[in-house]
């Protein structure tokens, strides 16, 4: 199984599952559905936050920050547990990255496999997601949320139609008296003298709002759009990276690490790892123009290609990436995507041949044999196709992006020789998975130029299995919880699912935040 349902090739995935995912995507979402729904999500434009009282002070039980998967699940769960809830959304669009996703809520079916593939992630968080996801599905079913049925043998994978799911969850919240404030970012957390959370300061379209609450749940989607944090932790090529998330359309970037930064200011601890890692895929290189759905333009078969940077050189194992000291058990496109982010202009060319095109490029995307070469060409990205490698390399040089034909041919010659001799694992830049180390030898040959798009960061807040944010001393910060991508170090370079993190920690943090007692130290 591939694509955002798991850029890795999951053992036991079936053609049927791929076909089903195609059917369900068409049935539930469709291009028009995404576009209309996403626009329909712009529900509360300026001035419509009429729930804000004239004195701009509010009191509630739980403030949830961010109306994506993590925040919506948190808000509805907290409300079902009896809490009065205010949900804040920074942008003019509700649903966050989730509303632009493929909607496969999933994680692994075996905890052993999960640990094996992400041994550097936090085992407590991984165990929590694995153990709790089925309960979350029961919860969604119990409230009538629109969720597809699980396929046989894949109990931990259920599909949502993102826009319908968003609308349903907002409807649940509002019909039970909850408040959603759009275009109202949290600016900072409020604490009392005893360092307990007592609410947030937010900024609405008409000015600041002080919202007092017994608990705050941060679900701001990570820091993919924060230039400083990405540059410090992931790559100096931030300026070239695409935002493969809710921020894509050039709106004010919403995913700027607001939850992480606000919590850090009051002594929250960063997760113990994952800061140099993220989940993403390669998108058509500039000057390409493309739009949602981003999956139609995302490469998922990179592990089968030869990837060369703008100097025409291989730089990382296309099958497993390359980060010193990391053991990677699995193969997946998302590894090489992370390494491309660290190359000049966060850009690289993927090169493949006829058989790889048939067996992988057309099949590997989980969306029903979309022709990605064609998608790149139509988007206006640099592409090349030829019946000889010499001609292919000549066309690549003709892109005018600096890729030297001679170097490309030298790289391919060295790689092909090793692939034919089954020694690709011993190349100076090894390709460890012999299954993926196929020689590029049968025309037609293909090359595309792509730039990495960052979907979700892996580092974040240190959080325990109750969703509580921990302080630098390891103790829970009273009244502070997290959900979704703000929960740090679940994946750490691997991809174990992303929506599952919002589902599970929304479910847990929502319930625990609802039970938070009044601050013992009062409201000042």
Binding residues vs ligand FAD (CB under 6 A) = 4-5, 65-71, 88-91, 96-98, 100-104, 185-186, 219-221, 244-246, 254-255, 258, 294-295, 455-456, 484-485, 497-500, 502
Report the nearest approach of ligand FAD to the CB of residue 505 (Å): 9
Determine the residue with CB nearest ligand FAD: 68
3-state per-residue secondary structure call for 9-67: CCCCCCHHHHHHHHHHHHHHCHHHHHHHHHHHCCCCCCCCCCCCCCCCEEECCEEEECC
When the beta carbons of 28 and 415 are compared against ligand FAD, the nearer one is 28
Buried b (16+ CB within 10 A) or exposed e, 32-64: ebbeebbebbebbeeeebeebeeeeebebbbbb
Nearer to ligand FAD, 34 or 384 (CB): 34
Q: Which is nearer to ligand FAD, 415 or 490 (CB)?
A: 490
Shortest distance, CB of residue 514 to ligand FAD, whole angstroms? 18
Instruction: Name which of 4 and 84 has its Cβ closer to ligand FAD.
Output: 4
Shortest Cβ distance from residue 179 to ligand FAD (Å)?
13
Which residues lie across from 158 on neighbouring strands? 105
Which residue has 């730039």 as its token pair?
451
**230: alpha, beta or left, given left = phi > 0 and alpha = psi -120 to 50?**
alpha
Sign of the four-CA dihedral 52, 254, 102, 467: negative
Q: Which is nearer to ligand FAD, 17 or 485 (CB)?
A: 485
Backbone phi and psi for residue 226, each to the nearest 5 degrees, phi listed first: -95, 110
As measured in angstroms, the least distance from the Cβ of 418 to ligand FAD is: 34
Name which of 43 and 306 has its Cβ closer to ligand FAD. 43
CB of 278 to ligand FAD, least distance (A): 10
Cβ proximity to ligand FAD, 294 vs 393, nearer residue: 294
Between 255 and 361, name the residue whose CB sits nearer to ligand FAD: 255
Q: Which is nearer to ligand FAD, 91 or 509 (CB)?
A: 91
CA–CA distance from 87 to each of 84, 225, 335, 442, 521 (Å)? 10, 21, 34, 55, 25
146: Cβ contacts below 8 Å, ≥ 6 apart: 28, 160, 161, 164, 165, 168
Residue 502 Cβ, how far from ligand FAD at the closest point, in Å?
4
Gap between the Cα atoms of 35 and 151, Å rounded: 28
Local structure of 485: helix, strand or coil: helix
φ, ψ for residue 201 (rounded to 5)? -105, 125
CA distance 114 to 53: 48
For the chain, the distance separating the N- and C-terminal CA atoms, rounded to the nearest angstrom, is 52
Neighbours of 135 (CB within 10 A): 12
- CB 371, min distance to ligand FAD, A: 18
Please tell me the total number of residues recorded for the chain in this structure.
524
Token pair for 82: 């009896």
CB of 75 vs ligand FAD, minimal distance in Å: 11
Closest among 42, 85, 78, 38 to 183, alpha carbons compared? 42
Q: How far apart are CA 247 and CA 393, in angstroms?
A: 35
- Strands 85-88 and 383-386 turn out to be unpaired
Nearer residue to ligand FAD within complex by CB, 445 or 481: 481
What is the rounded CA–CA span in Å between residue 296 and residue 273? 31
* Pick 120 or 159: Cβ nearer ligand FAD: 159
Asked whether 287 and 513 are in contact (CB, 8 A), the reply is no
CB of 151 to ligand FAD, least distance (A): 14
Shortest Å, Cβ 484 to ligand FAD: 2
Task: Report, in Å, the least distance between residue 483 CB and ligand FAD.
Answer: 7
Nearest distance, CB of residue 140 and ligand FAD, angstroms:
15
Q: To the nearest whole angstrom, how small is the minimum distance from the Cβ of residue 219 to ligand FAD?
A: 5
Residue placing its CB nearer to ligand FAD in the complex, 129 or 393:
129
The residue (of 297 and 445) whose beta carbon lies closer to ligand FAD is: 297
CB under 8 Å to 245, separation ≥6 — which residues? 97, 100, 221, 224, 225, 255, 454, 455, 456
């Amino acid at each position: 199984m591939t694509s955002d349902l798991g850029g890795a090739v999951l053992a036991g995935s079936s053609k049927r599952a791929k076909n089903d995912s195609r059917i369900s995507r068409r049935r539930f979402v469709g291009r028009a559905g995404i576009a209309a729904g996403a626009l329909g999500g712009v529900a509360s434009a300026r001035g419509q936050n009429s729930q804000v009282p004239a004195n701009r002070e509010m009191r509630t039980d739980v403030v949830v920050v961010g109306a994506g998967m993590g925040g919506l699940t948190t808000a509805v769960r907290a409300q079902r547990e009896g809490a009065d809830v205010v949900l804040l959304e920074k942008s003019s669009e509700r649903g966050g990255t989730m509303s632009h996703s493929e909607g496969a809520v999933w994680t692994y079916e075996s905890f052993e496999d999960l640990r094996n593939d992400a041994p550097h992630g936090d085992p407590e968080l991984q165990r929590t997601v694995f153990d709790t996801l089925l309960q979350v599905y029961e919860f969604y079913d119990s409230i009538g949320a629109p969720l597809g049925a699980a396929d046989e043998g894949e109990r931990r994978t259920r599909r949502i139609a993102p826009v319908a799911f968003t609308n349903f969850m907002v409807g649940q919240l509002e019909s039970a008296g909850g408040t959603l404030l759009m275009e109202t970012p949290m600016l900072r957390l409020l604490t009392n003298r005893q360092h307990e959370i007592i609410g947030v300061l937010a900024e609405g379209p008409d000015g600041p709002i002080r919202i007092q609450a017994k608990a705050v749940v941060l679900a701001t989607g990570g820091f993919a759009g924060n230039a400083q944090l990405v540059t410090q932790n992931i790559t100096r090529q931030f300026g070239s990276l695409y935002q493969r998330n809710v921020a894509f359309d050039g709106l004010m970037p919403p995913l700027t690490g607001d939850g992480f930064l606000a919590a850090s200011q009051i002594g929250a601890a960063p997760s113990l790892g994952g800061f140099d890692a993220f989940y993403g895929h390669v998108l058509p290189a500039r000057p390409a123009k493309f739009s949602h759905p981003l999956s139609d333009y995302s490469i998922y078969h990179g592990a089968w290609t030869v990837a060369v940077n703008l100097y025409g050189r291989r730089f990382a194992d296309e099958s497993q990436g390359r980060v010193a000291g990391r053991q990677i058990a699995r193969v997946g496109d998302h590894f090489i995507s992370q390494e491309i982010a660290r190359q000049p202009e966060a850009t690289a060319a993927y090169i493949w041949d006829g058989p790889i095109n048939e067996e992988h490029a057309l099949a590997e995307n989980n969306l029903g044999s979309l022709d990605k070469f064609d998608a790149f060409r139509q988007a206006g990205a640099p592409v090349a196709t030829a019946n000889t490698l010499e001609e292919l390399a000549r066309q690549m040089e003709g892109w005018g992006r600096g890729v030297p034909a001679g170097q490309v041919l030298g790289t391919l010659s060295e790689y092909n020789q090793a692939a034919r001799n089954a020694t690709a694992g011993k190349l100076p830049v090894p390709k460890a998975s012999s299954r993926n180390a196929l020689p590029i030898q049968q025309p037609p040959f293909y090359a595309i130029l792509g730039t990495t798009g960052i979907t979700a960061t892996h580092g974040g807040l240190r959080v325990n299995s109750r969703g509580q944010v921990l302080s630098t001393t390891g103790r829970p910060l009273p009244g502070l919880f997290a959900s979704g991508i703000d929960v740090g170090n679940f994946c750490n370079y691997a991809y174990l699912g992303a929506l599952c993190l919002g589902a599970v920690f929304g479910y847990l943090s929502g319930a625990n935040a609802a039970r938070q007692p009044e601050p013992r130290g009062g409201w000042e």
